[in-house]
Chain A
């Protein structure tokens, strides 16, 4: 069974940093694109970033470019999101999601998410 388990969320002050992790199991992690998608409280979904199998391709939504960095460790079956210069508007549940094999920019499945709260 495919499992994605996020961790690393919490409360941080504006301007602070946080590193999210996603532990993957149940599939060959190194052969799939991986994604981060977020959802602000009571709001809709927003794609944040994704990364290809060997880290040679990384894409970001404009609002996080220069502040967030996506990375992965295929030996550890893990995906990461380094978040710097955090703002109040980054407050959200952050989901890790696996790309489909044939269409990597659709997401299935998703983890249960980790909550990031940016507040003073």
Chain B
């Protein structure tokens, strides 16, 4: 099973700041990685798939990069609605697995 480790666990930032979230895989997943956003009481929402492709309707301030074992989700300038928990997920190998999440909170 591929383990995805997300860091940091919590990121405290102010609106307008840049957020950089990391996801590291225990073995290569090529570019088969996605990012999701989850707000309290809501279902997750797909942001990025195949490491760098924005999903439909996702603002351009969200971008993804990386391949192999190291991936990054960047939010260029945080909006109030971006404070949430972010998860990465791999589809390279069964079982499909998620990272433990990074909480982006208001500083």
Contact = CB atoms under 8 A, between A and B. Distances in A.
Chain B contact residues, majority secondary structure: loop
Given A44-B101, A47-B98, A112 B43 contact: yes
A106 B29 CA distance: 14
Interface string A82-105: 000000000000010000100101
A45 B98 CA distance: 6
B45 A109 contact: yes
A81 B94 CA distance: 19
A62 B95 contact: yes
B34 interface: yes
Given A61-B95, A105-B96, A108-B55, A45 B43 contact: no
Interface of A: 44-47, 50, 59-62, 95, 100, 103, 105-113
10 tightest Cβ-Cβ pairs between the two chains A and B: A105-B91, A108-B46, A110-B43, A47-B96, A45-B98, A106-B34, A106-B49, A61-B95, A44-B101, A44-B100
14 contacts: A45-B36, A45-B38, A45-B89, A47-B89, A47-B96, A47-B97, A59-B95, A61-B95, A62-B95, A103-B32, A106-B46, A106-B91, A108-B49, A112-B42
